[in-house]
Each structure stands twice: as C-alpha cells, then as structure tokens.
Chain A
Amino acid sequence: MEELLRMEHITKRFGDVYANRDIDLEVRKGEVHTLLGENGAGKSTLMNVLFGLYQPTEGSIYLRGQKVRIDSPAQAVRLGIGMVHQHFMLVEAMTVFENIILGDKNTKGIFIDKEARKKEIVELSERYGLDVELDKPVTEIAVGAQQRVEILKALYRGAELLVLDEPSAALTDLEVEGLFRMMGKLKEEGKSVIFISHKMREVMRISDRITILRDGRTIRTLDREATTGEELADLMIGRELVPSQYVKVEQAGEPVIALREVDYHKTSKHNGLNGVTLTVGRGEVVGIAGVDGNGQSQLAQVVTGVIAPDAGSVDMKGSTVAQFTPNGFILENVSHIPEDRNKMGLVGDMSVKDNIVLKATGDPRFSAAKGFFLKKKAIRDHALAIQKKYDIRCASIDQEARNLSGGNQQKIILAREMESQPDLLVAVHPTRGLDIGAASFIHDVMIEARDRGCGVLLISADFDEILEVSDRIVVMFEGQVMGEFSGKEPPIDQISLAMAGK
C-alpha cells in the first residue's frame, strides 16, 4: 500500500522535558493505524505536532512523499488532515450545521448558500452513517453525537487522514460500533485513520497496524495479524524486569488506612472508583499500577480527604473517617505528594522558603502568639536547613518556586511533606518528568520513610517505578481493583494482563 504520511525523527522538547524523542511514524493509504501508549507516552504531543499546534524541536513530516511544514491547524486542514480531539472543540451555543461550516474557507462572499451546504453535509453523513440533527444546538445533543459532528466537520473539510484521539472513551458500546463502521468505510475509500487508544480489545479489532510509544519514544510498529493483546500490553508498559535495589518488605505492620468497598462516581470508567478495598500497613509501600485514568486520581483524593466517597468506608488507624477534609487528614498525619505539583503542590508565585513552611506557619516553631507574629528568622533558618538536607537547587530560597526545575520543585514538596514525619504518605506520580538522579533521590526518601514505619501509597503510571519500590502491587482498571501481587519477584505477565483489564 502507498504511503500517505511519514513523520521522521520527531523530537519535541518543553524546557528540559522531552515529550517526544526521535519518533518515527508511517501511515499508509487506506489503513487504520493505532498509536498505543500510556498517558504521557507522547501520543497527544505527536498528534499536536502533526496538526500544527506544536512545532517539533527536530524532525520532519512528509505527506504523500512531499516534505511539508505544518505551522497551524488551518494549514493541516488544507493538507487534508482532520483531527477529533479528546475534548471536543465545538461552539456550544451554535447549531450542529453552523459548527460544521464554521471557518470553512470554501464559502466565498458574505452570504452562505445554506441549502447547498446542508445538502453536502447530509450526503456525507449518510455515506458514513454519521447520524446528526443539523439544526439542533450543540448543547442539546449527546456526547456521542457531538463526536459525530466533529468527525463530520473534519470530513467536510476534505480530510484524507483523520486523527481520532481516544474516541471511544465517552461512547456507549452501540456508538462504538457505529464509529468502527465509519472507520471501515473510510478505509474502503482509501482514506487513513490514526486511532489513539489504550483499550486493547478495540485496538485488536480495528487496527491494521499498531505503533507503540513509551516514554516519548517509538518502541515498535507491528501488524495486527502478527501480534497479540498480551504482547502489546507488554510493549506498552515495558517489561524488562530490573532487579530492585531496595529490600522488599513482606510483612507489613498494623494498617494505617483501610478502604472497604469504596465507591466514587461508580459508573464513570475513567474517573471513578468501584468497590475498592485496599489496605496500607505501617512500614510498607503499596504500589498502585495501572494505565492512567482508571480511577487513580480519585483514589488519591479519597485517601487525602480531598473528596468523600459515595459509598463504603475508610478507616484511619483503626477508626472510621467521618469527615473528609484535607485538613482532617493532615491532622491524622497524612502527607500528600499530589499528581500535579504546580497546580496542587506549590504556590508558584511564592518563594521556595514560603513553600517549604507552607503548612506550618501556625506552628509555634514559626510563629508566636497563635500565629500573629511570624518568626521570620526561624522560618529562614528552617528553610535553609531543608534546602541543604534535600539538596534543593535554587539561586536563593527567596526565589519564586515556579522558576525552579521540576526536580527541585518536587523536592520542595517532598521536604515539606516528609518533615512532619507522616504516618501515611500518598505519592502520586512523584517522579513524573524528573531525571534519574532526582527520581532515585525521591525513591530513597520514600523507602526511608517506610523503614521508619510510615505506610506509603504510591500511585504511578510508570510501571518501572512501581516495580522498583513497591512491596505490594495493586492493579487498578476502570475504577476497580484487578488484582494484588507481591512486590518481591512480581509476576509481570499477570500484572500487565490485569492492567489491560483481563
């Protein structure tokens, strides 16, 4: 089959972080090509490069053999690339029809020949089985229909290559069938589809070829016929087992936190919890493995008091938690390294020093008279000591935290959270985006806390990290616990199957 698109050596760097590193991708005419990878593997970045939203740091793109430069989405559309984002880009107050013709360069003059346009769109929608009500405002149609509008919009603008970013996430099973029929039809007509997903079942059904991305790199491109779901899952999470440098604990102490049958937005597959039962004991690291977006964020929020479960109970050190507030959990000596350090962990506009003492300004060490007199000298001395102890690299402790590198920002949070000698540490993607040095420092601190008798709940999409530090591994899939495994000589095959929902 003829080649339609070739992306060569694509590298995209944000500051020090590589989102894409030397990625190659080739899409042929008339094929469904799946991009498979965990969240953060670089799929969306690569597609944003293709669609002209980002400029690659290095690398080139060829369409039909011609080298092209795509510097805007408009340019991408002109080249016949259509994209349906995970989050739809529709003007909600406008009708379906208006959304589809919006920004169409073919409409000349001031007036739009609505009837002719409508006829074209109706033809298109019949041809691909994309059933929509043209005159309804977008707010009044369901999510599945909104997606069909997005697809129609792309096809109406003459897309030869359609990028679908996790299209099935929001659809019912019936709608997924319709989507697949439409993809089949496009293939018949010689058009190509790039399908982004991490649902193994769908990938195995619809793809012709599959390219696996991990950590921003291309791992391999495989023919669907020549592979199995298990192989894909293995490649996706990366399966070489490196012996852990940490001694694994087999017998944990008394439970610090115990969840029983906890539900939260149970019906949501990607942002909910469904009957989660889980215990973290003193002196153990429990690793939550799983593809991102299977309820891990919600789990972290429940065990730190940010959200309250809809059903089920949470026991903290033997007594049932009645009120879910972050402060209540902090008073129970729970520390939290949140998943988004800039949004949830740091006050970027405040100094390194202020972020280090953030929680503790009311403490008698740092203020007198119930907080009405801040001991600035004590705060400064403490911050300097912490900066040294945790090797936080900054020009000065008065520097704004937002100007530090990711690793040093994470160290600020780590320092703040560890200094209270927690009984439970909840760490969510603690090393995401960090270099190896910073990552292993953070792991060391976590293990130290464990050995001191702290229970550690580690939630991470980085499977290597889970294997490295966990004493016990719990796999989550679509809000449910899929299995529990020992962290000592972990059965990787079984874990990767569990992560794929089998």
Chain B
Amino acid sequence: MKHSGKLISVLVPLVSVMMAFVIGCAIIAILGASPVTALQALWTGAFGTARNISTTLSRATPLIFTSLCACFAYRCGVFNLGGEGQFMMGSIICCYIATRTGLTGLPAILLCLLAGAVFGGLWAMIPGILKVFRGQNEMIISIMLNYVASLFMSVIYTNWLRDGTVPQTAAVPDETRLTRIFGRATTGFLIALVVGALIYYFLFNTSMGFQLRAVGLNMTTAEYNGFAVKKYILLSFIVSGAIAGLGGSAELLGTQYRLISGFASGYGFDGVAMALIGQLHPLATMAVAIFFAALRVGSTAMQTATGVPTSVSDIIQALVIVFTVAGLAMVKLPSFKTALARLHMKKEAA
C-alpha cells in the first residue's frame, strides 16, 4: 500500500499535465495551428538553447521562492496566502538599501538579502500572531496584507523612492546586482536551490522539522505529546515569510532592478498552486516551479512562431492545477481506495 501511495502521488500530477496538454492541443488545433509545431515551438522557447534555458531558470527563481514559502507554512498546517505581500516587503527594503544608503557591492547584496528575509518574516508574523494569540483566520489576514503591501509598494515607487518622471524607483547600481552565472540566470537561482535544499533537510532530517510536520498533520496529537504548537505555527509563518522576502530581494537584485507597477504581481498565488501540485514536497515544488516558468517562457516563442496566443499556455497551466487538485481529492475517496485495494489483492493472488 505504501508503495502504491507514493506512486499515486507522482502519477496524479503527471497524468494531470498530460491531460492538460491534450486539451491544450485540441484548443491549438481549433485555432487552426498545428499542435505539433506549436508544442515544438513551446519546447524550443523554453529549453531549446542555452539562452532560453537560462531565461526559464530566471523566470522560475521568484516562483521557487513563493512556492517554497507556501509549502513551508502548509507543512505546519497553516495557510500563508500572503507570499506575494511578503515578497514585496522584502523587495521594498532591498530597494531602499540598494538605491539610497550608498552601500554597493557584496556588502550591500548581503545586507539586502538579509533585510529582505527579515522584512518578509516580520510581515508574515502579523497573520501568525493574530492566528496564534487571537484565533483569527490566517488566510484572510494574509490575503488582505497582500493588498496593503501592494499599495505600500506603489507609495514607494510613486513617491518616496521615485526616480524621475516615470513612476518607478531608481535602478539598482550595477555593482550591487546579482552575478549572472549562466545566461540570464543569476546567483538568485542558486540561492533558491539552496533554500529549497535546506527546507528539505530541515523538514525531513531534523527533530524540529519532524515536530513541525506532526503539528501540521495533527495539531491535537502534537499538543498532547507536548509540542509547543503555537511556537511552531508562529515559526512557520516567520520562516515562510522570510523565504518570500528573500525571494523579493533576489528578484530585485537579480532580474527587475527597480520597483515598478506590476512587480511580483501574481507570484503569491502561483506559489500556492505550485506547492499544492508539488504536494508540499520542497524538491518537487521547485521542479513544478521550473515547469511553470518553462510554460510561460515557451509560450512567447510559441506565439511568435505559430501565432497561437500565449493565453493557451495560461489555459494549460490552469488545467494542470485543476486536474491535480481534483485528482488528489479523487484518490482520497473511499470508493477509489477500495478499488485500489481490490486491484492489489488481485495482483497478489495472481
């Protein structure tokens, strides 16, 4: 049973992706283009050349951070839907340090990353504290704080840190930008990988990570077994926010260089969806983030090459989410479980 459980958790997203692509192809065909050519263009756009691969990885970097942010909180049984706001708060403080303090180079980079993580963590602490000490719904509060962060960011780029006539901040000076290691991919991507690996290690190889997962799976049992449930919940919010905040810094220093309208828009919820498809496994979640980035990068190439609009890629992405969530719900149904058990017994009998 154990074995088949693991198999299913891999199969469900894979089958979902295939189904999404089948429907995507049907749409492409209806639009009058050849699905094969379109998918080829999509693939080449995302992975065809070293440069394209680097673009994909660069696009994946912020998504990895926000999806790890969602993943970490979910693992402790709480829903941090505020990844986007925490991401923005990280990038805001980062922008201030990079453009206004006069610090440049490596010290500035390190300080920016650290401050971004701290600010993201502090921003996530608000729903955490309200949840733990006042029993408030963390989902609603963290979503609402996204709006606060987003509006605060617009104050920043239209007023406080505005540079010139266009509503945007000054660009991060060249020497404070993250090093490009490969095409467009920067050290930010490496940082994301390291964060993911650390989270994986923490969750599955430390006593605290074990207890945090236990809290996430059954709070009452955790409490009865003497775990500091409230501490873990608060901690999971702070760490989760810090991951997003760090991502905000890395994105600003590595890719965007300045705050501008639309910065980080949508990253938060994208992250939640990817964490769900990755079934809260940090490594799988990272793979899913790269996959989604590839779909996005590739779709532009697909549009140029075949005239199929990029929204077809959006449809595929949405379908992957819908199918995976539905599929995971389906395999939990009692009737499905019985059928599976029966299949097992037949196999054993044979």
A-side interface residues toward B, CB under 8 Å? Answer: 304, 306, 325-327, 329-331, 336, 338, 343-350, 354, 358-359, 361-362, 366-367, 371-374, 376, 395-396, 398-400, 403
In the assembled complex, which residues on chain B have CB atoms less than 8 Å from the CB atom of A345?
Answer: 221, 224
Mark interface residues in B275-292 (1 if CB within 8 Å of A CB, else 0).
000000000000000000
Contact yes or no, B207 A344, CB < 8 A: no
Contact yes or no, B211 A361, CB < 8 A: yes
Bound form: Cα–Cα A374–B1 in Å: 26
Sort chain B's interface into a size bin. 20 to 34
A467 to chain B, nearest CB (A): 28
Contact yes or no, A354 B221, CB < 8 A: no
Contact yes or no, A346 B2, CB < 8 A: no
Closest-by-CB residue of B relative to A370 is: B207
Mark interface residues in B287-316 (1 if CB within 8 Å of A CB, else 0).
000000000000000000000000000000
Mark interface residues in B224-242 (1 if CB within 8 Å of A CB, else 0).
1111100000000000000
Given A348-B217, A358-B225: A395 and B1 interface contact (C-beta under 8 Å): yes
Mark interface residues in B178-220 (1 if CB within 8 Å of A CB, else 0).
0000000000000000000000000011111011011001101
9 sampled A-B residue pairs with Cβ under 8 A: A327-B227, A329-B226, A338-B224, A346-B221, A347-B221, A347-B222, A350-B214, A358-B214, A361-B210
Bound form: Cα–Cα A178–B226 in Å: 47
Contact yes or no, A349 B217, CB < 8 A: yes
From the candidates B208, B218, B224, name the one contacting A326 in the complex (CB within 8 A): B224
Contact yes or no, A343 B2, CB < 8 A: no
Bound form: Cα–Cα A331–B227 in Å: 12
Q: Which of B206, B221, B227 has the most CB of A within 10 A?
A: B221
Q: Which of B204, B220, B226, B228 has the most CB of A within 10 A?
A: B226
Contact yes or no, A326 B223, CB < 8 A: yes
A90 to chain B, nearest CB (A): 24
Q: Which of B205, B224, B228 has the most CB of A within 10 A?
A: B224
Contact yes or no, B210 A354, CB < 8 A: yes
In the assembled complex, which residues on chain A have CB atoms less than 8 Å from the CB atom of B223?
Answer: 306, 326
Contact yes or no, A350 B217, CB < 8 A: yes
In the assembled complex, which residues on chain B have CB atoms less than 8 Å from the CB atom of A325?
Answer: 226
In the assembled complex, which residues on chain A have CB atoms less than 8 Å from the CB atom of B213?
Answer: 350
B-side interface residues toward A, CB under 8 Å? Answer: 1-2, 5, 204-208, 210-211, 213-214, 217-218, 220-228
Contact yes or no, B226 A359, CB < 8 A: yes
In the assembled complex, which residues on chain B have CB atoms less than 8 Å from the CB atom of A376?
Answer: 205
A369 to chain B, nearest CB (A): 9
From the candidates B208, B222, B224, B226, name the one contacting A371 in the complex (CB within 8 A): B208
In the assembled complex, which residues on chain B have CB atoms less than 8 Å from the CB atom of A306?
Answer: 223-224
Bound form: Cα–Cα A338–B223 in Å: 12
Contact yes or no, B220 A344, CB < 8 A: yes
B69 to chain A, nearest CB (A): 22
Contact yes or no, B2 A395, CB < 8 A: yes
Bound form: Cα–Cα A350–B203 in Å: 13
Interface majority SS on B: helix, strand, loop or mixed?
helix
Contact yes or no, B1 A347, CB < 8 A: no
A227 to chain B, nearest CB (A): 42
In the assembled complex, which residues on chain A have CB atoms less than 8 Å from the CB atom of B210?
Answer: 354, 361, 374
By Cβ-Cβ distance, the 10 closest A-B pairs, closest first, are A371-B207, A327-B226, A361-B207, A330-B226, A362-B207, A347-B218, A326-B226, A349-B217, A347-B217, A344-B224
Closest-by-CB residue of A relative to B209 is: A374
B230 to chain A, nearest CB (A): 11
Contact yes or no, A343 B207, CB < 8 A: no
In the assembled complex, which residues on chain B have CB atoms less than 8 Å from the CB atom of A367?
Answer: 206-207
Contact yes or no, B221 A374, CB < 8 A: no
Contact yes or no, B220 A343, CB < 8 A: yes
Contact yes or no, B225 A330, CB < 8 A: yes
Contact yes or no, B2 A396, CB < 8 A: yes
Bound form: Cα–Cα A310–B328 in Å: 45
Given A330-B226, A367-B207: A399 and B2 interface contact (C-beta under 8 Å): yes
A304 to chain B, nearest CB (A): 7
Given contacts A304-B224, A348-B218, 5 further A-B contacts (CB under 8 A): A343-B218, A349-B217, A354-B210, A359-B225, A374-B204
Bound form: Cα–Cα A361–B213 in Å: 12
In the assembled complex, which residues on chain B have CB atoms less than 8 Å from the CB atom of A336?
Answer: 224
Contact yes or no, B206 A371, CB < 8 A: yes
Bound form: Cα–Cα A371–B224 in Å: 20
In the assembled complex, which residues on chain A have CB atoms less than 8 Å from the CB atom of B5?
Answer: 400
Bound form: Cα–Cα A343–B227 in Å: 15
B337 to chain A, nearest CB (A): 10
Bound form: Cα–Cα A354–B206 in Å: 13
Bound form: Cα–Cα A48–B125 in Å: 46
Bound form: Cα–Cα A372–B211 in Å: 12
A430 to chain B, nearest CB (A): 15
A470 to chain B, nearest CB (A): 24
Contact yes or no, B2 A398, CB < 8 A: yes
A327 to chain B, nearest CB (A): 4
From the candidates A331, A344, A372, A399, name the one contacting B206 in the complex (CB within 8 A): A372
From the candidates A359, A372, A399, name the one contacting B1 in the complex (CB within 8 A): A399
In the assembled complex, which residues on chain A have CB atoms less than 8 Å from the CB atom of B204?
Answer: 374
A490 to chain B, nearest CB (A): 31
